[in-house]
Amino acid sequence: MRLFRYLPFFTALALVAGAETDMMKSNPPAKDALECKLGEKSACGLPSNVVIDMSKAKVQRTDAEWMKLLNARQFQVARKQGTEPPFQNEYWDNHEDGVYFSVCSDTPLFDSRDKFESGTGWPSFTKPIEKAFVGETTDVSYGMERTEVHCNVDGAHLGHVFPDGPAPTGLRYCINSASLKFMPRKAYEAWVAKNQAGAKK
């Protein structure tokens, strides 16, 4: 008899679970370009083939050319693997909605939706917007072994990734503001539309 008392609860629970499953089917989580089928829209909004093509492009300049394009701090951090001071950089406390690009090229790297307050004084993200755009190397400087992250397109040093971040990835991409330039969401949507149109030509 007690079981019948809880039947309405279990029925409601099943309906909610079914509704959530339907929502997941109609709105599946955005996939990284490396996980997409050819031409399928990836997490950054561009077709996967466009993302893969962009990731293979290599922006190369001499130090003299970079120095003309970047300010002193940007050059030291992005091109010479430097580190900016915590809490004294442009984006550590930025709460605007948008996307962070590499300061050295037109490459989107991190979405503000994946940014979180790490308390470190540097912008921190749970993941890159596209895995194809962010590479990793082992960094043994300063007597430590860390995982350095860089932009695959232009080689810019971004920062490091640590295994102490929040869910869902458990990662903390600790990134220098000097290696980034911020684009508000509406401007980013226009950028995506422009690049989608270019891909169709």
Active site residue 174: yes
- Check: CB of residue 83 under 8 Å from CB of residue 77: yes
What distance in Å separates the CA atoms of residue 36 and residue 48, rounded to the nearest whole number? Answer: 6
From 36, 44, 151, 174, active-site residue: 174
Catalytic residue IDs? 174
